[in-house]
Structure 1
């Protein structure tokens, strides 16, 4: 009876040693390395890697590892660490991968692998702008391929705020779409566990009141820098004069 048949009977038996399932997210077309996270036994009978309870790889000490039909060239198995490297993953490769190390006792490691597409570009559109002498209102739309969020921002000469705070939602593809305010910029971020894209716009481009505040702040900052530089220079000059005076006094005492 072949080794695969024997192993096929064994994997039908529930493992006595339980382990937590570790979630792993991989971008479509990429590779992933899965390690045996339990203590490696010294006296090994054999090691198996299974995908959704189907045999992928088996290894018996003293022989070469055997890869199941259909996975040749797509799996690299380490006969030292018992890890597997899965190559060029596709959506159909999502599922539970289980490593079982058999010896005096059985040790199990499980991964729940999810293969995801990279997210689509994030779009940010300014839908409307309303200006007055004291304030400015902007309504924007943060969008992805399958979803969008609208949000309103209000600015005066000093600060900006987002109506209702930061906004986010889960898209139909399971990604996250997020629009928020950061350092006088509106950010639209589209992300999932394997990739992200964003788009941004400066509020000053649409709100001259707030731009004036920024210019004033910049002017104050520049003035402060000049004042500090002048003060440092003055201290250096005074220190130099005092040093020369002390040296001349010491010479006269000699």
Structure 2
């Protein structure tokens, strides 16, 4: 049994397999499937094994000598790769909750496995904008923005060496995702992520600092050449 690995590259996540520890947290991208397995074999003499959500709603009942009985609300959404295992198809945010497997025995119900499942949708795209460039020191004033949140920060670059000076570095958005702006290898990143999905935008500091560097003006070239000619002529007088 493999543990559930939460991948930031959520497009690679096709099936999340829950690891059977009590209250194990599991994060699933909306629309994906979830595999639930028992952490241990049912005890001897078990009458049935139920998979439930939030302790009250039963998804399916397994009996030792019969086919799984799927309860009405989950008809067409469950698959059974092996005995006592369940694949719940096409999860939505409403499917978030505590999933548990309980064994019915002669002494009462026994909790076998429990998972705290959170279904999250993909995060929204982000936009990184440079609002202002102070040319003397090449201070970059930037905004990292999503559809419902934004943070501002300032980066200072001296001799092409940049650092993050002031402003916000991260924020939790209204949807519970994380919005971050940071500097890595002379590139400014604006990152929006939750436990199962991420998106970002970036731009290089050189793109702004070099374009704002003072140029060698043609008038100075003319003046230098003129002075040189005058000095040269004077030497031959």
Relative to the length of structure 1, the TM-score reads 0.69
Contact 1:157 1:210 in 2 (8 A): no
* Equivalent of 2:128 in 124, 131, 135: 124
Q: Distance in 2 between matches of 1:210 and 1:156?
A: 13
Higher helix residue share: 1
* Equivalent of 1:111 in 102, 108, 115: 115
Q: Distance in 2 between matches of 1:164 and 1:153?
A: 7
SS of the residue aligned with 1:181?
strand
Q: Distance in 1 between matches of 2:163 and 2:209?
A: 13
Contact 1:184 1:203 in 2 (8 A): yes
Instruction: After superposing the two structures, state which structure 1 stretch, 179-188 or 102-111, moved more.
Output: 102-111
RMSD: 2.2
Q: Distance in 2 between matches of 1:151 and 1:115?
A: 31
Contact 1:141 1:148 in 2 (8 A): yes
Partner of 1:159: 161
Deviation at 1:61, TM superposition (A): 0.9
Q: Distance in 2 between matches of 1:56 and 1:139?
A: 53
Contact 2:154 2:167 in 1 (8 A): no
Contact 1:59 1:79 in 2 (8 A): no
Structure 1: runs of 5+ lacking an equivalent = 1-18, 212-254
* Equivalent of 1:34 in 36, 39, 46: 36
1:89-136 deviations in whole A, cap 9, x for unaligned? 11211111111134577342111111111000011001000112xx21
Partner of 1:142: 144
Q: Distance in 2 between matches of 1:202 and 1:61?
A: 63
Contact 2:29 2:122 in 1 (8 A): yes
Relative to the length of structure 2, the TM-score reads 0.74
Matched positions, count: 190
- Identify the structure with bigger relative contact order (alpha carbons < 8 Å, sequence gap 6+): 2
Rg bigger for which structure?
1
Higher strand residue share: 2
Q: Distance in 2 between matches of 1:155 and 1:210?
A: 12
Q: Distance in 2 between matches of 1:78 and 1:196?
A: 30
Partner of 1:51: 53
Q: Distance in 1 between matches of 2:94 and 2:174?
A: 19
1:200-235 deviations in whole A, cap 9, x for unaligned? 001001002999xxxxxxxxxxxxxxxxxxxxxxxx
Is 2:99 the counterpart of 1:91?
no
Structure 2: runs of 5+ lacking an equivalent = 1-20, 214-237
